[in-house]
Structure 1
Amino acid sequence: MTAVEQRFREFKMPDVGEGLTEAEILKWFVAPGDTVTDGQVVCEVETAKAAVELPIPFDGVVHELRFDEGTTVDVGTPIISVDTDPGAGEAAPQAAPAAGEAVAEAPAAAPESEEKEGRQANLVGYGAAPASTKRRPRKPLPSAQRSAPTPSAAAPAPQAPAPAPAPARPEAAPELNGSGRPARPLAKPPVRKLAKDLGIDLETVTPSGADGIITREDVHAAAEAVQAARETPVAAPATAPQGRERRVPVKGVRKATAQAMVNSAFTAPHVTEFVTVDVTRTMKLVSELKQDPELAGLRVNPLLLVAKALLVAIRRNPDINATWDEGNQEIVYKDYVNLGIAAATPRGLIVPNIKDADAKTLPELASALGELVGTAREGRTSPAEMSGGTITITNVGVFGIDAGTPIINPGESAILAFGAVKLQPWVHKGEVKPRQVTTLALSFDHRLVDGELGSKVLADVAAVLERPKRLITWA
């Protein structure tokens, strides 16, 4: 490895957790020429689970940002290069070799195919690249820097005029096809990735860059042409709905959620049961708890008591808190409850969970619930906070919905939907009176939860919400 190669270090897209294989670059916080320090956040990326800020693990000056914002990058791919010794570029010009000495020829850039064969991606974060790793060609430096020769570890010889540039090697010239264009389209890796994402064959793209290189603009132009052709009816082009449709790539949280729901719906046999319950006493208790000094400043709402009621029902019926291990053909019963709360965010539906919710007091549960919701709304939920859930609550009532048939979160056995609380006529103590009523729906995996167990859990939740004093005697 040359001195120049040692100067430039590459920061690779790390595995930010849960075995994710790719992430989208949402925003760069640095630009070429900026000074960075160890631990400084250089970009924000979005995985299939959360938005994460990435700190760089070394000091230096940003040399190149390898990908644009909005690009999805595989884990282990270099995303930024940093000059860790920027002062080396200001060293005195290297002297020409003395008479009779051989001139070392700079090696030509390896073809891309060889690059791919020689590269060994570091799938977890960053690290020193092996000596055999082949690097892709660097971007040309500004003219002021291009005139400065590469520093060398060899002792300087007496200064002499620099030799004239050697002619290009014949084998370095791209192979041409019959039309005079390169046999293999010329494009940088980000452009190739963009073309792949948009479904564009680079063979069909007309290059506009120097030396026949295909640019991002060329790919976008080709994609727009394809889209226009699809939207234009053959028989009656005059009736085409212009500007009445929008197409948005499926990626990030929405892509992961869609795949997880499909897998869950077609893997676990879902059964959903419903119960309508008078929650007038619960709503009164919520009002009283809001005045309790021990809960001052905490999030106190009906969802808090629904969560507590579910935790009580799980304690009375612990077999509901389990998961189905398809690989080992086992049911895994869990002696802890990581309570998931489905949260709708601008990035899509996520399900962070409260770890060991069953061991928390009511004030502790209220605090954890408030922090969970606040973090989700701000888009700061980490992948770890969304992993390891055992059972979930989805509060569809906040949208005015009475009930639904929720899909079980993958890896769990059940999910409880909490409907809207509405004032309805209800028979109370033998008389029809206006009461606050809601509907609960429990979906469960019928492979490990039979109808009796599911019914007991739902009935216990309803009983606690109808008479919340049971929290004292059952908890």
Structure 2
Amino acid sequence: MPDFKQFLLADTAEGLTEAEILGVRVKPGDEVAVNQIVVEVETAKAAVELPIPWAGRITEILVTEGQTVEVGAPILTIDVDPGGASANGSAPEEEMKPLVGYGSKTVTAKRRARREVAPEAPVAVKGGYVPLAKPPVRKLAKDLGVDLTTLTGSAEGVITREDVQRAAAPATPAAPMQTGARERRVPIKGVRKATAQAMVTSAFTAPHVTEFLTVDVTPMMELRERLKKHPSFQGVKLTPLAFAAKAVCLAAKRTPDVNATWDEATGEIVYKDYVHLGIAAATPRGLVVPKIRDADAMSLPELAVALEQLTATARDGKTPPEAMLHGTITITNVGVFGVDTGTPIINPGEAAILAFGAIKDMPWVVDGALAVRKVLQLALSFDHRLVDGQQGSQFLADVGALLADPAFAITY
């Protein structure tokens, strides 16, 4: 007999409650293998591809693209015994245990006779009906702020681009512009919603203090050019941010308070003997802060490679949720946008964040004479419950000294 299981939306990271369906990779009747990717979702932390823990035949898809579903909700139904092996006396294959975080729900009802659904029929989903439309049309509707449920498809029930564009255009072009006609509304969800909540919580929980330092990094840039020719850096993209990452790790050892956590629940300060370095990265889905685990144990070439991999993964929207948990201190590279500096907001659970500004040619006094030097600005925001002014100043000065003269690192 058939053996039906439902594939549920799991909590792919700590504390997630919902996710948006970005795409379903299978359809009813498809045969799938163990750990095959069947759906892509966007959580409050990142886009995640979900593998199914069983092999079998897909019998029903229970979600649609663009739908937001809660953790624990069924996504699809699969028959894990489509050949009826257990019914004809054959020994069934050993059942794979679900991956960590994934659950199943056995469907005990008998299989109902499948009936064909007319192409023009709307798809039934939780909370209403979603008329049929191709993914590009759904994206266009989302961009233009058009609610697909208010439209009737002109192509045998299927909504077209023209349907969406007509709905987005003013009814009478010559008529006066109505209030809001040049505005569009986009739901606050996913990464942007989570980031906003975290920043508001941090801003109104941790007392922020920000200090600034301008640094002549000409020696660092000269060292960078020399190292790029060294055999140990062949094939490595050595950026100024890698030097900043190394400097933060070294300076944190001298001022461990910037790498600590304020535990309100236990009334304790938790000092970390490791650095899980967060790197704030702008992505098409919003700001994410993936971590380089044990960054303090890495050499400069290893940090450079880790940064390149981290940013590439974040840019593609493929950062796994677990990579954004349990950071200890963060760098935000505002210089990549040509910005000098800013007043960054501390990530929740951390004590400090360093803004790394743009490196520019600027006039600078060297040995009493004016010269053109490579100069950048640093800004350090810190939690004044954990870090007082002396500690914050010392840490910022240490980072600046290491960037101004990398040889100073041998004294640490």
- TM-score range (shorter-chain normalised) is 0.7 to 0.9
Partners of 1:321 and 1:409 lie apart in 2 by: 12
**Superposition deviation, residue 321 in structure 1:** 0.9
Are 1:311 and 1:358, in contact at CA under 8 Å, matched by a contact in 2? yes
Structure 1-normalised TM-score?
Answer: 0.70
Q: Aligned residue for 1:126?
A: 103
Name the stretch that deviates more: 366-375 or 343-352: 366-375
Are 2:4 and 2:107, in contact at CA under 8 Å, matched by a contact in 1? no
2:62 counterpart letter in structure 1: R
**Aligned mate of 1:468, from 390, 400, 406:** 406
**Aligned mate of 2:340, from 402, 413, 436:** 402
Q: Aligned residue for 1:112?
A: none
Aligned 1:217-236 pairs, distance under 5 A = 218=149
1:386 counterpart letter in structure 2: M
1:28 counterpart letter in structure 2: V
Q: Aligned residue for 1:305?
A: 243
For the residue of structure 1 that corresponds to 2:176, the secondary structure is helix
Q: Aligned residue for 1:142?
A: 115
Name the stretch that deviates more: 45-54 or 271-280: 45-54
Percent identity (aligned): 57
Structure 2 CA distance for partners of 1:268 and 1:378, relative to 1, 3 Å: same
**Aligned mate of 1:191, from 114, 122, 127:** 127
Q: Deviations over 1:364-396 (max 9, x none)?
A: 222212221122122221111111100000110
For the residue of structure 1 that corresponds to 2:126, the secondary structure is helix
Structure 2 CA distance for partners of 1:217 and 1:449, relative to 1, 3 Å: closer
1:27 counterpart letter in structure 2: G
**Superposition deviation, residue 51 in structure 1:** 1.4
Partners of 1:380 and 1:305 lie apart in 2 by: 25
Structure 2 CA distance for partners of 1:252 and 1:242, relative to 1, 3 Å: closer
Q: Which runs of 4+ in 1 moved over 6 A?
A: 137-140
Are 1:277 and 1:439, in contact at CA under 8 Å, matched by a contact in 2? yes
Q: Deviations over 1:158-182 (max 9, x none)?
A: xxxxxxxxxxxxxxxxxxxxxxxxx
2:25 counterpart letter in structure 1: F
**Superposition deviation, residue 298 in structure 1:** 1.2
For the residue of structure 2 that corresponds to 1:238, the secondary structure is coil
Q: Aligned residue for 1:358?
A: 296
Q: Aligned residue for 1:49?
A: 45
- Where structure 2 has 5 or more consecutive residues not aligned to the other structure, the ranges are 88-99, 118-122, 131-146, 153-162
1:322 aligns with 2:295: no
**Superposition deviation, residue 85 in structure 1:** 3.9
**Aligned mate of 1:272, from 200, 203, 210:** 210
Structure 2-normalised TM-score?
Answer: 0.81
Name the stretch that deviates more: 49-58 or 258-267: 49-58
Are 1:76 and 1:124, in contact at CA under 8 Å, matched by a contact in 2? no
Q: How many residues are matched?
A: 361
1:454 counterpart letter in structure 2: G
Structure number with bigger Rg: 1
Structure 2 CA distance for partners of 1:66 and 1:293, relative to 1, 3 Å: same
Q: Deviations over 1:305-357 (max 9, x none)?
A: 11111112111112221011111121111111001111111111111111111
**Superposition deviation, residue 129 in structure 1:** 4.0
Partners of 2:177 and 2:299 lie apart in 1 by: 63
Q: Aligned residue for 1:294?
A: 232
1:17 aligns with 2:23: no
Aligned 1:57-456 pairs, distance under 5 A = 57-87=53-83, 124-129=101-106, 141-142=114-115, 189-192=125-128, 218=149, 238-240=176-178, 244-456=182-394
Partners of 1:13 and 1:219 lie apart in 2 by: 28
Partners of 2:127 and 2:285 lie apart in 1 by: 26
Partners of 1:193 and 1:452 lie apart in 2 by: 60
Are 1:339 and 1:353, in contact at CA under 8 Å, matched by a contact in 2? yes
Partners of 1:353 and 1:125 lie apart in 2 by: 24
Structure 2 CA distance for partners of 1:129 and 1:83, relative to 1, 3 Å: closer
Structure 2 CA distance for partners of 1:406 and 1:374, relative to 1, 3 Å: same
- Where structure 1 has 5 or more consecutive residues not aligned to the other structure, the ranges are 92-122, 145-186, 195-215
Name the stretch that deviates more: 268-277 or 45-54: 45-54
1:39 counterpart letter in structure 2: N
For the residue of structure 2 that corresponds to 1:366, the secondary structure is helix
Name the stretch that deviates more: 54-63 or 425-434: 54-63
Are 2:6 and 2:107, in contact at CA under 8 Å, matched by a contact in 1? no
Structure 2 CA distance for partners of 1:464 and 1:84, relative to 1, 3 Å: closer
Are 2:353 and 2:380, in contact at CA under 8 Å, matched by a contact in 1? yes
Are 2:20 and 2:67, in contact at CA under 8 Å, matched by a contact in 1? yes
For the residue of structure 1 that corresponds to 2:387, the secondary structure is coil
Partners of 2:255 and 2:192 lie apart in 1 by: 33
For the residue of structure 2 that corresponds to 1:443, the secondary structure is strand
Partners of 2:188 and 2:149 lie apart in 1 by: 23
Are 2:209 and 2:383, in contact at CA under 8 Å, matched by a contact in 1? yes
**Superposition deviation, residue 124 in structure 1:** 4.4
For the residue of structure 1 that corresponds to 2:306, the secondary structure is helix
Partners of 2:212 and 2:242 lie apart in 1 by: 20
Partners of 1:248 and 1:217 lie apart in 2 by: 14
Q: RMSD of the TM alignment (CA)?
A: 2.9
Partners of 2:53 and 2:288 lie apart in 1 by: 30
